[in-house]
């Protein structure tokens, strides 16, 4: 974990080294000030030497200014190092997430990833700054003050040693107890963020069903859980300050009492006692700073584990050593394919799938909810990898292809259509960033999206709100189809991508595909028989298995599931024909 985090310091190593350097320099200047003060009292005030007072006063001013400059420089480089460290952490997390396959993403919730990128990284940023500054300054100040105190009077300085051992043991106990709660509280943050994300994402549904009170109640429960965990942790951490104050006042009392006796016995001067009291405060303030660092580090340990978990997670699907970059054609072969989303799953999602699809064919896929239609097509572009068997595209196993090359030739319009904030042209150019406006227009004509775009005031420069909230479901689907067509793929997969489109527009889209991209293999998942009945062949899925594979006419004769779906969607047609004209 530590190695992973320190690797993200990178270009901020210089700032990370300079910060403790200046903090130690500040401590050295501050440590010399009490000696100058003792000299003023013993050799200036008590001896009546005004010149010595002036000289040592000037020395104290110079030491204070040097200490101030060192502290400012330490703060400057500490801020640079910690903010740079946080920036690199966020970049590393986000970059690694982009390499994840669907199976990797399935392990994390969206809210959990957002918490890692925000709250957890901020905790680490604060902890790193405190480690560079306080964790350097406090031990240095502690050591210097202890050394100077022992040089002045070892007997009195032994009080500090007892205090340090006592306070150190208490801090370790507090940290161990509080860590357990802090590790739990950040998991509760995930629930809190999930509640907010779900509510904002589905705000229209919440309003439509008048469920604001329910959502507020759910959010309050998540808030209360975070509150309770933090309260439990803080109840332990709060013991830190009383213990610190008890130790400080006990040391001051002990030194004052013993020091007064020694001054009377002439074994200690007034200036030395003043210096010892100053060093007493230095030592105990150093311990206080260390306790603050311990609290912050305790909180950040849980955050560090969550952040490194994402950074160290490797993608399940990667390029082979010598990848194939050219996809010969759009033919697809499934050879005894079994697939499970989890390796330890007892029941596979897809079972012994054997398929052979010729390049340029239009294949319809139909089946009930949960019959694994989407799982089947996700294997073609390697969004997931097969558990057993193989999937080939263009006669080559998909696991031998360069991922980018394969996915550029296998264009997928997913079941959940997503548009990004930006203009229509910017969204379309996700398919091809170099596409001209004319190419975008042509793709929209094929997807039957040009008709509604031309009616918009800004046409192709119309701004799409986040998530495509200012366009209808059918318009969103057509824009996503146009975006996929711009890739000019050898295989086009439409995963129930015309469900929100009226049947007439659906027919126009299918006709355009047949006329304009005849060489592209087209796989169309649909719930409506009318969307696929003109396909070259149709796959009927049932419970992760192929129940039937053939033309519309063949399946109507031989496949019970297809017959049932067809007749349920065309119900009443027989009565109409038998009765002649309708009443």
| Cβ contact 387:556 at 8 Å | no
Give the model confidence (pLDDT) of 127-156 as tens digits.
Answer: 888 888 888 888 888 788 778 778 877 777
Q: How far is CA 179 from the centre of its chain?
A: 22
Report residue 15 as tokens.
């700032």
pLDDT at site 468: 72
When the pLDDT of each residue in the chain is averaged and rounded to a whole number, the result is 81
Low-confidence residues in the chain, pLDDT < 70: 46, 183, 186-187, 190, 201, 266, 415, 500, 571-583
pLDDT at site 186: 66
Give the span between the Cα atoms of 528 and 496, in whole angstroms: 9
Among the residues of 265-372, which ranges form H helices? 270-312
CATH of domain 332-571: 3.40.50.300
In which residue are the tokens 């065309």 written?
570
Domain ranges in the chain are 2-312, 332-571
Give the model confidence (pLDDT) of 476-516 as tens digits.
Answer: 888 888 888 888 888 988 887 777 677 777 788 878 887 77
Q: Who's near 72: CB < 8 A, 6+ residues apart?
A: none
pLDDT at site 333: 92
Report residue 559 as tokens.
């496949």
Q: Tell me if the domain spanning 2-312 has CATH number 3.90.870.10.
A: no
pLDDT at site 183: 67
Predicted TM-score of the model (pTM): 0.67
Ramachandran region, residue 271 (left: φ > 0; alpha: ψ -120 to 50; beta: rest) = alpha
Report residue 132 as tokens.
């560079």
Report residue 234 as tokens.
């803080």
State whether residue 389 is helix, strand or coil. strand
| Cβ contact 123:300 at 8 Å | yes
């Amino acid at each position: 974990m530590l190695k992973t985090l320190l690797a993200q310091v990178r270009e901020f190593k210089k700032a990370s080294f300079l910060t403790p350097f200046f903090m130690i320099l500040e401590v050295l200047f501050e440590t010399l000030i009490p000696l100058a003060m003792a000299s003023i009292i013993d050799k200036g005030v008590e001896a009546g030497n005004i010149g010595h007072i002036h000289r040592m006063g000037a020395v104290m001013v110079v030491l204070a200014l040097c200490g101030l400059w060192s502290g400012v420089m330490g703060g400057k480089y500490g801020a640079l190092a910690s903010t740079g460290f946080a920036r690199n952490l966020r970049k590393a997390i986000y970059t690694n997430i982009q390499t994840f396959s669907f199976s990797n993403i399935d392990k994390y919730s969206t809210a959990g990833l957002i918490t890692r990128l925000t709250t957890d990284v901020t905790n680490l940023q604060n902890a790193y700054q405190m480690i560079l500054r306080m964790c350097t300054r406090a031990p240095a100040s502690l050591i210097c003050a202890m050394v100077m105190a022992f040089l002045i009077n070892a007997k009195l300085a032994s009080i500090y040693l007892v205090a340090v051992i006592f306070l150190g043991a208490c801090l370790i106990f507090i940290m161990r107890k509080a860590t357990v709660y802090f590790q739990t509280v950040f998991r509760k943050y995930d629930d809190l963020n999930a509640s907010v994300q779900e509510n904002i994402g589905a705000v229209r549904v919440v309003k439509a069903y008048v469920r604001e009170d329910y959502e507020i109640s759910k959010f309050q429960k998540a808030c209360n859980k975070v509150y309770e965990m933090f309260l439990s942790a803080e109840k332990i951490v709060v013991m830190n300050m009383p213990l610190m104050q008890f130790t400080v006042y006990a040391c001051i009392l002990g030194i004052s009492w013993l020091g007064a006796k020694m001054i009377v016995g002439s074994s200690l001067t007034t200036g030395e006692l003043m210096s010892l009291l100053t060093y007493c405060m230095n030592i105990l303030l150093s311990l206080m700073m260390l306790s603050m660092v311990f609290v912050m580090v305790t909180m950040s340990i849980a955050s560090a584990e969550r952040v490194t978990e994402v950074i160290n997670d490797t993608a399940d699907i990667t390029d082979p050593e010598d990848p194939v970059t050219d996809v010969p054609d759009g033919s697809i072969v499934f050879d005894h394919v079994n697939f499970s989303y989890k390796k330890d799953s007892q029941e596979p999602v897809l079972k012994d799938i054997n398929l052979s699809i010729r390049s340029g064919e239009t294949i319809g896929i139909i089946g009930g909810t949960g019959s694994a239609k989407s799982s089947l097509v996700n294997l073609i572009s390697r969004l997931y990898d097969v558990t057993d068997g193989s999937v080939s595209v263009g006669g080559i196993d998909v696991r031998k292809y360069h991922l980018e090359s394969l996915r550029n030739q296998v264009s997928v319009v997913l079941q959940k259509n997503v548009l990004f904030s930006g203009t229509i042209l910017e969204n379309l150019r996700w398919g091809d960033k170099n596409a001209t406006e004319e190419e975008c227009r042509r793709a929209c004509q094929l997807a039957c999206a040009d008709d509604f775009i031309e009616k918009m005031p800004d046409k192709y420069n119309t701004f799409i709100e986040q998530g495509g909230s200012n366009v209808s479901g059918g318009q969103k689907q057509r824009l996503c189809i146009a975006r996929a067509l711009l890739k000019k793929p050898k295989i086009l997969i439409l995963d129930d991508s015309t469900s929100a489109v009226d049947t007439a527009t659906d027919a126009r889209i299918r006709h355009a595909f047949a006329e304009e991209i005849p060489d592209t293999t087209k796989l169309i998942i649909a719930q409506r028989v009318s969307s696929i009945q003109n396909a070259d062949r149709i796959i009927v899925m049932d419970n992760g298995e192929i129940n039937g594979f053939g033309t519309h006419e063949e399946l109507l004769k031989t496949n019970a599931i297809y017959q049932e779906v067809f007749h349920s969607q065309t119900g009443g047609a027989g009565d109409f024909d038998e009765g002649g004209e309708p009443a």
